[in-house]
Amino acid sequence: MTPDIGYISLSGKDNPRVKELVRLHKERGNKVFIEGTRLCEDALESGVAVDKLIYTEDRKELVSKWYGLFECLNDSCEYLLVTDDIFRKVSSTVNPQGVAMVVSEPDIYCQERLELPVDGSGKDIYMVAEAVQDPGNLGTMIRTADAFAFSAVILLPGTCDPFSDKVLRASMGSVWHIPIVRCSNTDDLFLYFSEHGIKSYAMHLNGVELNEEELELPAAYLIGNEGNGLTQDTALRCDRLLKIPMPGKAESLNAAAAASIMGYVFANKR
């Protein structure tokens, strides 16, 4: 460990600081618990604000290396050295890697007034998730939006927490690469689309087949709940209803698969 790092050694599973870390998995507020070398490095590379770095004795060398590489590991970060037993207690994985962090949510996620990021090209693309409840689906959708350089992922009510353990792992670090915007009022979203000339496309079983529609940018496409799709009110407020042609016997695609196909098609419109 570099001598510049002052650290706190935690012991005892009943330690209040340990209980606080365990509680973050259920009551995290605006903090995010990340664990594992890869996920932590992805977050550090994005410059997140790190509140706490938790590690075991055999991860000291790694923490020392990070301290020298990443400016976000500054004096405001607490370094908590814990035993293997305590790390297993605060961890949510079956085979913990001995390093974790508590970081602050990105500012864009915490905004009070809806304002969407733009890339300046006039060809922005937004992915919108309504009541998507499976963490694996949402993580994959965020990863898709990152892969195709979308301007943001917008989460409508009922959608699962984008910073839960399972979403973080499924997104493979993409939650730190693309703005994620929570919109609690659908009226505000469609008003914003109207005021900024953003075409909205609903993925819907009653829609026009994708290859028969001329897509326009800037655009937002909306993906609904895994079992029920978009709510009727949301679908009816979109400019167009679309569906993916499926000549096979499967009746539908899951949310993540549909979002990925649509992501590729919309990205090609640029």
Contact 140, 171 (CB under 8 A): yes
Q: Does 3 map to a domain? A: no
Q: 160-210: per-residue pLDDT in tens?
A: 999 998 999 999 999 999 999 999 899 999 999 999 999 999 988 889 998
Q: Does 16 map to a domain? A: yes
**Identity of the residue numbered 132:** V
**248 shares its domain with 114:** yes
Q: Does 205 map to a domain? A: yes
Q: 84-131: per-residue pLDDT in tens?
A: 999 999 998 888 999 999 999 887 765 667 889 998 899 999 999 999
Give the residue numbers spanning the domain of 41: 8-104
**Token pair for residue 136?**
């694996």
**84 shares its domain with 210:** no
Report the distance separating Cα 254 and Cα 188, nearest Å: 27
**178 shares its domain with 49:** no
Q: 131-167: per-residue pLDDT in tens?
A: 999 999 999 999 999 999 999 999 999 999 999 989 9
Report the distance separating Cα 143 and Cα 131, nearest Å: 18
What 8-state DSSP symbol labels residue 28?
A: -
- Radius of gyration for the chain, computed over Cα atoms and rounded to the nearest angstrom: 21
Q: Specify the 3-state DSSP secondary structure of 201.
A: strand
Q: What pTM does this model have?
A: 0.90
Report strand pairing: 125-129 vs 152-155: parallel
Give the count of domains, the chain: 2
CATH number of the domain residue 77 falls in: 3.30.1330.30
**127 shares its domain with 259:** yes
**94 shares its domain with 115:** no
Q: Does 152 map to a domain? A: yes
**191 shares its domain with 145:** yes
Select from 147, 138, 166, 145 the least CA-distant residue to 33. Answer: 166
The pLDDT assigned to 158 comes to: 94
**100 shares its domain with 192:** no
**150 shares its domain with 27:** no
Q: Specify the 3-state DSSP secondary structure of 162.
A: coil
The pLDDT assigned to 4 comes to: 54
